[in-house]
């Protein structure tokens, strides 16, 4: 494939992301490292959700629950390591393994039930399950209930540079993001990816061709759940804090917005979407204009809501749609 | 077991069920007929409560405020339908979900701008702020009984509207074949606006009724909206009868679970574990019921006949 506009833009984006920490260091802009770290981690979650939403056509509205699972593993792990002396729970590798385990189990159970349904039922059921886990987190008084929990320290990863350095965490997140992008790319062009796309376009036909579509979708759902769980692991470390708010259903909505904003069903789209979403939030909430005593920035969602509706109405391909000339009529 | 508490909590459960029914009926009508997923239904609930709070303050009478707020809620719904949602009928459910999500953000901020971030209270008139002895020696708040009565009246009214009137006939016809109804010369656009308006009015009514017992605040519609989703998933999307029965089920299970699960768990577990596990488990109960219903009947308990 020759180098088209989208590929060139992706290269530039990756180069910029790689160069950001030293550049920010020059300009005394530590703030941007933290902001973009957050965007990278949300991009990881969006790339994961895009795996089922974009490729597989499954509109999961409870994806933030998996962020919560990863985050609570980190939060609970460091708490038990510190307060109860269970040292191995503070270890980042153990926490990652537990994150993978718990998100896989949760995704298997939620997916197995939800995937029995289609269309709008699926949206509502995943929403309900996500909210269920949210309320479970609210009910966990031991981890602070509604208020959440501050991390004593970030995950310890012996053999790697210390994650408590914001730059290290930045590059660690960027590495995970690039890995997941590569995985998505490989999966999309694999036999598994073709079957998944086929299930989105016409599930009955895929079933008639003899593919066990339910099983394919369930496997995709579990993979996406695990990947999102890892995003949660990173997010807890990035914010040094966990709370049920991380898994509130509006967070799941934000992830879907990022995907649609960036370009649904494209490998790189969610990355642009997550960056655009956070930058837009940062920009709109910083608008200093004051009308009749109300600072517009303080009510930025008043603008963002209608803008979102207009984007969905008129810019269906998202940001990636502008980068990539309309090719296969998708 | 404490029978008086059981009776009171059952009544509370039915009353939550009635509020859920008011929301779920509109949601299920709008989805069943217009094929539109409306997340912003909770915003209409919230707006209803705010209208009632302001009008109560102006008129000094809560019942009068409700009477005035109902057409206002309906009008709000129609404006939302005409301005924002009409373009989304032919779109995918994902687009509808996102657009109505955008509406939620908009309305939450709008309410914060107009009414401020602090919640409001709706004072009840003296004759409603009393209690009635439902059984000798057992008082129960009058207003909660009023909610029960309103819910039952609305259910009966909806049944009459849908099965006995001309507009009900059009609603049923629109649900099974909208092109044919259009071809027969019915103004489908107007019909849709009216249905959306009715749904908005019912959601607003639920918010108004809930106002005096819960606090009127931003985001109040969101948690109950998700309960309403659970209701219509259990009841079968598009079925008003299913919404009614599932509302009562969810209301009762949720309320009774919250008040009795700690005691029931205490029979099996040490009190420390029971008091830790009970809040988490009781908030999971309705979702577990939903999962069981779906495992057995993926279309819900009462899937409407003739629906696609």
- pLDDT mean over A187-195: 91
Tell if the CB–CB gap between B280 and A135 is shorter than 8 Å.
yes
State pLDDT tens for residues B152-177.
Answer: 999 999 889 888 888 888 888 877 77
Name the residue with tokens 């007929």.
Answer: B33
Tell if the CB–CB gap between A124 and B229 is shorter than 8 Å.
yes
Lowest mean pLDDT among A131-140, A256-265, A291-300: A291-300
Which spans in chain B are helix H?
3-34, 41-59, 62-80, 93-115, 142-164, 166-176, 178-183, 188-210, 220-235, 240-268, 271-296
Closest CA relative to residue B30, chosen from B223, B144, B183, B174: B174
Domains and CATH numbers, chain B: 11-117+130-296 (1.10.3470)
- pLDDT mean over B177-184: 82
List chain B residues with CB under 8 Å of A146.
none
Cβ B230 vs Cβ A131: under 8 Å? no
Q: Say if residue B78's pLDDT is above 60.
A: yes
Q: Say if residue B1's pLDDT is above 70.
A: no
Lowest mean pLDDT among A19-28, A122-131, B53-62: A19-28
Locate the chain A residue with the closest alpha carbon to B103.
Answer: A305
- pLDDT mean over A17-40: 85
Distance from CA of B242 to the nearest CA of A (A): 15
* Burial annotation A122-157 (CB, 10 A radius, 16+ → b, else e): bbbbbbbbbbbbbbbbbbbeebbeeebbebeebbbb
Average per-residue pLDDT in chain A? 88
Distance from CA of B277 to the nearest CA of A (A): 8
Partner residue opposite A123 with nearest CB, options B93, B112, B294: B93
- To probe the interface with B, which of A54, A128, A140, A263 has the most B CB atoms within 10 Å? A128
A129 touches chain B (CB under 8 A): yes
Q: What does the pLDDT read at residue A171? A: 93
State pLDDT tens for residues B213-225.
Answer: 888 998 888 888 8
Confidence label for A280 from pLDDT (cuts 50, 70 and 90): confident
- To probe the interface with A, which of B82, B93, B102, B283 has the most A CB atoms within 10 Å? B102
Q: What does the pLDDT read at residue A325? A: 63
- pLDDT mean over B66-90: 93
Torsion of CA B60, B66, B71, B76, to 10 degrees: 90
Task: Give the helix/strand (H/E) hosting A194.
Answer: helix A191-201
Q: What does the pLDDT read at residue A128? A: 87
- How far CA B82 is from CA of B47, B78, B87, B189, B193, in Å, comes to 18, 6, 9, 9, 7
- How far CA A36 is from CA of A32, A95, A178, A297, in Å, comes to 6, 24, 15, 20
Provide the strand spans (E) within A121-233.
Answer: 149-150
Q: Which of A214-228, B30-44, B114-128, B180-194 has the highest mean pLDDT?
A: A214-228
Q: Say if residue B308's pLDDT is above 50.
A: no
**Using CA atoms, how far apart are residues B167 and B211, in angstroms rounded to an integer?**
30
A280 burial via Cβ count (<10 Å: 0-12, 13-18, 19+):
middle
Q: Say if residue B301's pLDDT is above 50.
A: yes
Lowest mean pLDDT among A267-281, A310-324, B239-253: A310-324
A260 touches chain B (CB under 8 A): yes
What is the separation of C-alpha A275 from the centre of its chain, rounded to a whole number of angstroms? 12
**Any idea where the domains of chain A sit in the sequence?**
5-323
B126 burial via Cβ count (<10 Å: 0-12, 13-18, 19+):
exposed
Q: Report strand pairing: A294-295 vs A290-291.
A: antiparallel
- To probe the interface with B, which of A305, A308, A311 has the most B CB atoms within 10 Å? A305
Confidence label for A330 from pLDDT (cuts 50, 70 and 90): very low
Report which of residues B265 and A301 the model is more confident about.
A301
- How far CA B114 is from CA of A2, A160, B55, B60, B110, in Å, comes to 55, 52, 14, 20, 6
- pLDDT mean over B108-121: 90
Distance from CA of B190 to the nearest CA of A (A): 22
ipTM: 0.86
Q: What does the pLDDT read at residue B6? A: 87
Q: What does the pLDDT read at residue A326? A: 56
Lowest mean pLDDT among A57-66, B119-128, B297-306: B297-306
As a whole number of Å, the end-to-end CA separation of chain B is 46
Confidence label for B305 from pLDDT (cuts 50, 70 and 90): low
Q: What does the pLDDT read at residue B53? A: 94
Distance from CA of A122 to the nearest CA of B (A): 10
> Residue A193 phi/psi, 5° resolution?
-65, -40
Report which of residues B1 and A255 the model is more confident about.
A255
Confidence label for A185 from pLDDT (cuts 50, 70 and 90): very high
CB pairs under 8 A between A and B: 122
**Using CA atoms, how far apart are residues A35 and A29, in angstroms rounded to an integer?**
10
Label each residue of A89-126 as H, E or C. Answer: HHEHHHHHHHHHHHHHHHHHHHHHHHCCCCHHHHHHHH
Cβ A121 vs Cβ B298: under 8 Å? yes
Tell if the CB–CB gap between A305 and B104 is shorter than 8 Å.
yes
Mutual orientation of helices B142-164 and B3-34 as an angle, nearest 10°?
A: 30
Phi-psi region for residue A18, left (φ > 0), alpha (ψ -120 to 50) or beta?
alpha
Q: Which CATH class is domain A5-323?
A: mainly alpha
Q: What does the pLDDT read at residue B135? A: 79
Q: What does the pLDDT read at residue A329? A: 42
Locate the chain B residue with the closest alpha carbon to A311.
Answer: B99
State pLDDT tens for residues B15-45.
Answer: 999 999 999 999 988 888 888 889 999 999 9
């Amino acid at each position: 494939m020759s180098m088209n506009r989208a590929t060139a833009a992706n290269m530039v984006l990756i180069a910029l992301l790689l160069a950001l920490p030293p550049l920010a260091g020059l300009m005394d802009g530590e703030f941007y490292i933290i902001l973009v770290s957050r965007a990278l981690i949300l991009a990881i979650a969006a790339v994961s959700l895009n795996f089922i939403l974009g490729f597989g056509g499954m509109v999961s509205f409870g994806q933030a629950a998996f962020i919560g699972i990863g985050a609570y593993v980190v939060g609970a792990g460091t708490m038990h390591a510190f307060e109860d002396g269970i040292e191995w729970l503070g270890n980042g590798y153990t926490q990652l393994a537990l994150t993978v385990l718990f998100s896989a189990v949760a995704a298997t159970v939620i997916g197995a039930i939800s995937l029995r349904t289609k269309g709008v039922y699926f949206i509502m059921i995943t929403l309900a399950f996500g909210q269920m886990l949210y309320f479970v987190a609210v009910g966990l008084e031991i981890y602070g209930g509604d208020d959440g929990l501050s991390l004593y320290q970030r995950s310890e990863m012996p053999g790697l540079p210390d994650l408590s350095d914001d730059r290290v965490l930045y590059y660690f997140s960027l590495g995970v993001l690039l890995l997941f992008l590569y995985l998505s790319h490989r999966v999309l062009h694999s036999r598994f990816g073709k079957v998944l796309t086929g299930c989105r376009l016409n599930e009955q036909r895929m079933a008639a061709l003899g593919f066990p579509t339910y099983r394919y979708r369930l496997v995709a759902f579990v993979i996406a759940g695990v990947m999102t769980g890892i995003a949660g692991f990173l997010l807890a470390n990035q914010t040094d804090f966990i709370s049920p708010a991380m898994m509130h259903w509006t967070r799941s909505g934000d992830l879907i917005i990022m995907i649609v904003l960036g370009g649904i069903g494209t490998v790189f789209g969610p990355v642009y979407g997550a960056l655009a979403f956070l930058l837009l939030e940062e920009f709109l909430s910083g608008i200093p204009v004051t009308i009749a005593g109300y600072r517009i920035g303080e009510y930025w969602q008043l603008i963002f809501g209608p803008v979102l509706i207009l984007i969905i109405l008129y810019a269906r391909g998202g940001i990636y749609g502008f980068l990539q000339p309309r090719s296969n009529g998708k | 077991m404490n029978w008086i508490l059981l009776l009171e909590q059952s009544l509370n459960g039915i009353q939550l069920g009635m509020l859920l029914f008011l929301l779920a009926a509109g949601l299920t009508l709008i989805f069943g007929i217009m094929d539109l997923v409306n997340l912003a239904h909770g915003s209409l609930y919230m707006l209803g409560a705010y209208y009632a709070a302001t009008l109560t303050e102006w008129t000094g009478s809560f019942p009068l405020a409700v009477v005035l707020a109902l057409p206002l809620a309906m009008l709000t719904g129609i404006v939302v339908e005409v301005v924002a949602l009409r373009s989304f009928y032919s779109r995918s459910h994902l687009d509808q979900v996102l657009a109505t999500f955008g509406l939620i953000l908009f309305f939450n901020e709008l309410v914060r701008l107009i009414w401020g971030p602090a919640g409001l209270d709706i004072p009840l008139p003296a004759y409603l702020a009393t209690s009635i002895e439902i059984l000798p020696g057992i008082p129960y708040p009058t207003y909660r009984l009023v909610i029960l009565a309103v819910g039952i009246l609305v259910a009966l009214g909806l049944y009459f509207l849908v099965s006995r009137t001309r507009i009900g006939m059009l609603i049923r016809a629109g649900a099974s074949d909208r092109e044919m109804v259009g071809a027969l010369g019915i103004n489908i656009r107007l019909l849709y606006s009216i249905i959306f308006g009715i749904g908005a009015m019912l959601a607003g009514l639920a918010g108004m009724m809930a106002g005096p017992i819960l606090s009127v605040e931003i985001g109040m519609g969101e948690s109950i909206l998700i309960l309403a989703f659970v209701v219509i998933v259990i009841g079968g999307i598009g079925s008003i009868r299913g919404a009614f029965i599932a509302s009562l089920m969810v209301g009762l299970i949720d309320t009774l679970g919250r008040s009795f699960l700690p005691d029931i768990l205490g029979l099996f577990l040490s009190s420390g574990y029971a008091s830790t596990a009970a809040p988490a488990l009781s908030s999971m109960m309705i979702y577990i019921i939903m999962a069981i219903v779906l495992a057995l009947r993926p279309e819900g308990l009462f899937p409407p006949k003739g629906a696609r």
